Amino acid sequence: MSVVLAEILRAGAVESRHTGAFAVADTDGRIVLCGGDPERAIYPRSAIKALQAIPLVVSGAADRFGLTQAELALACASHAGTPAHAAGAAAMLLRAGRDAGCLECGTHWPSSSTAARALAAAGEQPSALHNNCSGKHAGFICTAVAAGRDPAGYVRPEHKTMREVTDAVAAVTGTDLAAQIPGTDGCSIPTYRIQLGRLAAGFARFGTGLDLPQGFADAARRLREAVAANPSMLAGTGRFDTVVTEALGTAAFVKVGAEGVYCGALPTLGLGFALKCDDGAARAAEAATAALLRHFLGQHAVLDRLAAPALTNWNGLEVGRIRPCLV
């Protein structure tokens, strides 16, 4: 069961169409708005990085290693692979007495094509530090090292640090993940299927601290404040998550996941949301998320632009537009 999330218009005609499902919930798990089936289980992928970063703070690892606000934000990020992002991940590892050789996320060219070309123009090759997940992985390594554990193999579901990460996600979303055989994410950590409504309720808790143990609530607040203070670390200049965070600050938390996922929180309203585009398209998930934020937070020039972006061609001519359809 799906609803239309967004349409792609060219010369006024619908050229393409994206369907999906979404849920908005409060901290008790009450669905206040949905499209499609809120019980649909999805792989949230990177959209729950902030939940996966909770053990880094709760365990005391972040304080022990003196992680900065920017580094905490990077632990929640799918970053563009700019020099600042790569340096941030390297600094986190250095604080734990480790280096990029410990990263098990794999290597790819920076997600930002501009950053990738700049790296190539400098005659360099990418390292695991450029992987968009390197901050999250550096956080896992800090968590393991602070607990006196060998971080090797931390990406495996059964590694003690990854078990803590999975337990935190399970606790915040109220989902039993112990018996589930996970998928493997792009960066090799496990990814578990979770219902949209439970993800939404989990992010309502993450955004408010309500219905969470005090340590979790404090960690969530620190992570949200770190991201709000360092929007460019969450994604990168001009990217959706960064632009929304720059515009809304602590009034919203948004995070993209691969395959058309968005999760986030509306702390001032006590709500969380989760959204999945059936076909995995980021453009539709972004437009729909902007429309959802606008629906709940009211008009905002940045959200207006992100909800219905103009489509321009290689000569800069406007040839069409994205039209959000979910609210």
The 132-151 contact track toward a second copy, x by CB under 8 A, reads: --------------------
By CB under 8 A, name the one of 117, 238, 305, 310 that touches a second copy.
Answer: 117
Is 326 near a second copy (CB under 8 A)?
no
Is 183 near a second copy (CB under 8 A)?
yes
Is 315 near a second copy (CB under 8 A)?
yes
For residues 126 and 117, the answer to whether their CB atoms sit within 8 Å is no
For residues 92, 94, 96 and 98, what is the CA-based torsion angle, rounded to 10 degrees?
120
Which residues, 6+ apart, have CB-to-CB distance to 244 below 8 Å?
252, 254, 290, 293, 302, 303, 306
For residues 220 and 213, the answer to whether their CB atoms sit within 8 Å is no
Three-state DSSP at 209 gives coil
Interface with a second copy in residues 245-264 (CB under 8 A): 259-260
For residues 90 and 96, the answer to whether their CB atoms sit within 8 Å is no
Q: Which is nearer to a second copy, 226 or 284 (CB)?
A: 284
Number of residues interacting with a second copy: please give it, by CB under 8 A: 51
Residue tagged 């008009």 (tokens): 299
Is 157 near a second copy (CB under 8 A)?
no
Segment interacting with a second copy, rule: CB under 8 A, options 71-79, 198-206, 241-249, 312-320: 312-320
Of 49, 66, 97, residue with least CA distance to 262? 49
Which residues, 6+ apart, have CB-to-CB distance to 301 below 8 Å?
none
Q: Which is nearer to a second copy, 319 or 327 (CB)?
A: 319
Is 108 near a second copy (CB under 8 A)?
yes
For residues 229 and 73, the answer to whether their CB atoms sit within 8 Å is yes
Alpha-carbon distance of 142 to 144, in angstroms, equals 5
Q: Which is nearer to a second copy, 66 or 123 (CB)?
A: 123
Is 327 near a second copy (CB under 8 A)?
no
Is 109 near a second copy (CB under 8 A)?
yes
Quote the least distance from Cβ 43 to a second copy, whole Å: 5
Helix (H) or strand (E) holding 233: helix 231-234
Interface with a second copy in residues 1-60 (CB under 8 A): 8, 10-11, 13, 15-19, 42-43
Quote the least distance from Cβ 104 to a second copy, whole Å: 7
Binding site for a second copy (CB under 8 A): 8, 10-11, 13, 15-19, 42-43, 104-109, 113, 116-121, 123, 131, 181-188, 191, 193, 259-260, 277-281, 284, 313-317, 319-320
